[in-house]
Structure 1
Amino acid sequence: MRNEVRQRRMAMGLSQQELGRALGVSRQTVNAIEQSRYDPSLPLAIRMARYFGTTVEEIFHAD
Structure 2
Amino acid sequence: MNRERISRLAHADHPIASPLDDDSVRRLLEQGIRPDAERVLDLGCGGGEWLLRATAG
Scaled by the length of structure 2, the TM-score of the pair is 0.28
- Tell me which structure has the larger Cα radius of gyration: 2
- Structure number with the higher strand fraction is 1
- Structure number with the higher helix fraction is 1
Scaled by the length of structure 1, the TM-score of the pair is 0.27
Answer 1 or 2: higher relative contact order, Cα 8 Å, separation at least 6.
1
